[in-house]
Homo-oligomer: A and B are copies of this chain.
Amino acid sequence: MTLTKMLPRLPIERTLGIISGRWKAVIIHVLLEGPKRTCEIETQITGISQKVLIQQLKALEQHGIVWRKTSLEEPQRVDYSLTPLGLSLEPLISSLQDWGQQHAQEQGDAHRLISCDAVVRSLDGQR
């Protein structure tokens, strides 16, 4: 069940171990808007499957990032929200967002290996 995978020792890796994963950062980003139901998150993130969503949420829950509240009402209802610890990731998520945006506009959407390589070539005449 893979359950509770060990977190790495180094702080950097530790953080990455928590927020990296196909959808985790996006989920946190969405939850920063406020608590959401499972299905709300699902429809808000295009391309994620229910199974994977729940899977990632569970991992986040285990790391103390999100909080899961079940209501035993009629149609089963579950709300997810960020814990204080999760909220403390806000600046980090923003940074990711900002840097990514900047990065995207610096180079077109295509891979800018070309331009970079060109610089290298002109600078040191090899490769």
Contacts and interface: CB of A to CB of B under 8 A. Distances in A.
Contacts of A44: none
Contacts of A10: 26, 100
Oligomer: number of copies: 2
Interface of A: 4, 7, 10-16, 18-20, 25-26, 29, 61-62, 64, 67-70, 72, 83, 85, 88-89, 91-93, 95-104, 106-107, 111-113, 116, 120, 124, 126-127
A90 to B, nearest CB: 11
Contacts of A70: 124, 126-127
A83 B107 CA distance: 14
30 contacts: A4-B113, A7-B111, A11-B96, A11-B98, A11-B99, A11-B100, A11-B103, A11-B104, A12-B25, A12-B100, A13-B26, A13-B100, A14-B100, A15-B97, A15-B100, A16-B19, A16-B96, A20-B20, A62-B111, A64-B107, A64-B112, A64-B116, A68-B120, A70-B127, A85-B103, A88-B102, A89-B99, A91-B95, A92-B92, A92-B96
